[in-house]
């Protein structure tokens, strides 16, 4: 991705890159210490809307994860202010600014296709029915940066089990909201960037979708998801490149055939359908052998580390791909 700006990132180098982004951090961090800036974008949308039915569910009750204390996580400011959400602009800082007006309540998700009965779920129905848990996952973007994020959500499998997919359901397709009024990136010409065919679409094989690691996130850092992270609900598939983890989902379709997916459609030789994190298969324009792990908002919080196959989740997921040539099915 980042067809237009990645080349400049290459020439200016990662240090310049990061200092541009993190330059104003010192000040904001001290405000956060005083408790002034800690909720950030989470104040927008249904989080603060007094009319919102989801508001009744606050505070999010979730089972805290055991590994949270042990994990070295990316700080909350980093997770919520360095984003890819092209509907709201191409710069990493853009979504945190321009996504705040996204109306996330009411919100419903249509689940249709190869199942007995199509259903539409209000977000609050899902929140009432499915227990929330915290999962601290590594997130590895195809652009070779990564974070460690404490998501809150429920396994996608719990939702799919409710709709009873039939035996023809071999794949699951997902769609983001399509609303150019709210999403400036979807307006023709506004960003001068037209290589994505909206709405943003993603897909998984059914066994990947049913895998217990595959999460629908509704929160992060103990709060409702802020808009820039894909409110009110988004996919998180931790062993795949970040672009698989589609945000602000409105439609889930069970399908017999592999569905078309946005980045794969836009550049099929660069972004595969599977997109499993794989240091042995480079992106045509850069190496995937290492990654810049962003831990904190300070310049010292970036480490260059070796990328692991399946983003370190191989023990849990490698068996899904036994016998497959992962260079071909990248």
Ligand X SMILES: Nc1nc2c(c(=O)[nH]1)N[C@H]1C(S)=C(S)[C@@H](COP(=O)(O)O)O[C@H]1N2
Binding stretches for ligand X (CB under 6 A): 1, 83-87, 139, 141, 176, 200, 229-230, 242-243, 245-248
Residues 6 or more apart whose CB falls under 8 angstroms from that of 114 comprise 165, 166, 168, 169, 254, 255, 256
* CA pair distance 152, 199, nearest whole angstrom: 25
Distance in Å, CB of 275 to Mo ion, minimum = 10
In this complex, which beta carbon is closest to ligand X, that of residue 115 or of residue 274?
274
Distance in Å, CB of 1 to ligand X, minimum = 6
Distance in Å, CB of 20 to ligand X, minimum = 18
Binding of Mo ion by 272 (CB under 5 A) = no
Question: What is the DSSP-derived secondary structure letter of residue 196?
Answer: S
Helix (H, G, I), strand (E, B) or coil at 182: coil
Helix (H, G, I), strand (E, B) or coil at 235: strand
What does 246 bind: Mo ion, ligand X, none (CB cut-off 5 to 8 Å by kind)? ligand X
Which residues, in sequence order, are bridge partners of residue 176?
249
In this complex, which beta carbon is closest to Mo ion, that of residue 46 or of residue 241?
241
Instruction: Choose the binding region for Mo ion from 39-47, 124-132, 237-245, 251-259 (rule: CB under 5 A).
Output: 237-245
> Which residues ranging from 274 to 313 are in contact with Mo ion (CB under 5 A)?
none
Helix (H, G, I), strand (E, B) or coil at 62: strand
Residues 6 or more apart whose CB falls under 8 angstroms from that of 259 comprise 171, 173, 201, 203, 253
Distance in Å, CB of 177 to ligand X, minimum = 8
Q: Are 235 and 174 in contact (CB under 8 A)?
A: yes
Residue closest to ligand X when measured from CB atoms: 242
In this complex, which beta carbon is closest to Mo ion, that of residue 21 or of residue 107?
21
> Which residues ranging from 13 to 42 are in contact with Mo ion (CB under 5 A)?
none
Q: Which H or E run includes 126?
A: helix 123-129
- Of 141, 172, 225, 294, the residue at the interface with Mo ion (CB under 5 A) is 141
Of the candidates 84, 244, 79, 95, the residue with the CA atom closest to the CA atom of residue 182: 95
In this complex, which beta carbon is closest to ligand X, that of residue 83 or of residue 261?
83
Binding of Mo ion by 82 (CB under 5 A) = no
What does 85 bind: ligand X, Mo ion, none (CB cut-off 5 to 8 Å by kind)? ligand X
Binding of Mo ion by 243 (CB under 5 A) = yes
Binding of Mo ion by 242 (CB under 5 A) = yes
In this complex, which beta carbon is closest to ligand X, that of residue 46 or of residue 198?
198
Question: What is the DSSP-derived secondary structure letter of residue 173?
Answer: E
Tell me how many degrees the CA angle 152-156-161 measures, rounded to the nearest 5.
135
Residues 6 or more apart whose CB falls under 8 angstroms from that of 295 comprise 72, 73, 74, 75, 78, 147, 148, 301, 302, 303
Tell me how many degrees the CA angle 183-185-190 measures, rounded to the nearest 5.
120
In this complex, which beta carbon is closest to Mo ion, that of residue 154 or of residue 243?
243
What does 229 bind: ligand X, Mo ion, none (CB cut-off 5 to 8 Å by kind)? ligand X
Distance in Å, CB of 180 to Mo ion, minimum = 22
What does 239 bind: ligand X, Mo ion, none (CB cut-off 5 to 8 Å by kind)? none
In this complex, which beta carbon is closest to ligand X, that of residue 114 or of residue 271?
271
Q: Which H or E run includes 95?
A: helix 94-98
Instruction: Choose the binding region for Mo ion from 90-98, 240-248, 256-264, 277-285 (rule: CB under 5 A).
Output: 240-248
* Residue ranges in contact with Mo ion by CB under 5 A: 84, 141, 242-243
């Amino acid at each position: 991705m980042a067809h237009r700006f990645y080349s400049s990132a290459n020439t200016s180098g990662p240090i310049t890159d990061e200092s541009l982004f993190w330059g104003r951090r010192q000040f904001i961090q001290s405000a956060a210490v005083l408790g002034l800036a800690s909720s950030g974008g989470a104040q927008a949308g249904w989080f603060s809307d007094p009319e919102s039915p989801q508001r009744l569910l606050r505070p999010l009750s979730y089972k805290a994860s055991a590994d949270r204390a042990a994990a070295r996580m990316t700080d909350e400011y980093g997770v919520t202010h360095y984003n890819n959400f092209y509907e709201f602009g191409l710069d990493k800082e853009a979504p945190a600014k321009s996504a705040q007006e996204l109306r996330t309540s009411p919100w419903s998700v249509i689940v249709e296709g190869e199942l007995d009965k199509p259903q539409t779920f209000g977000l609050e129905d899902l929140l009432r029915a499915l227990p929330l848990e915290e999962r601290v996952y590594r997130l590895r973007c195809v652009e070779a940066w990564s974070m460690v994020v404490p998501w809150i959500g429920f396994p996608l499998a719990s939702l799919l089990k409710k709709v009873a997919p039939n035996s023809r359901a071999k794949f699951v397709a997902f769609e983001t909201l399509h609303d150019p009024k709210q999403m400036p990136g979807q307006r023709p010409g506004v960003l001068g960037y037209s290589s994505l065919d909206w709405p943003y679409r993603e897909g998984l094989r059914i066994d990947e979708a049913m895998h217990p690691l595959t999460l629908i996130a509704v929160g992060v850092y103990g709060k409702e998801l802020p808009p820039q992270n894909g409110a009110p609900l988004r996919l998180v598939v931790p062993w795949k490149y970040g672009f698989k983890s589609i945000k602000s989902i409105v439609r889930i379709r069970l399908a017999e055939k592999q569905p078309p997916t946005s980045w794969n459609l836009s550049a099929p030789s660069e972004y595969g359908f599977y997109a499993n994190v794989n240091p042995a298969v480079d992106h045509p324009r850069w190496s995937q052998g290492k990654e810049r792990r962003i831990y904190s908002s300070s310049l010292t919080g970036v480490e260059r580390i070796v990328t692991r196959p399946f983003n370190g989740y191989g023990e849990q997921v490698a068996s899904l791909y036994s016998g497959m040539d992962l260079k071909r099915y990248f």
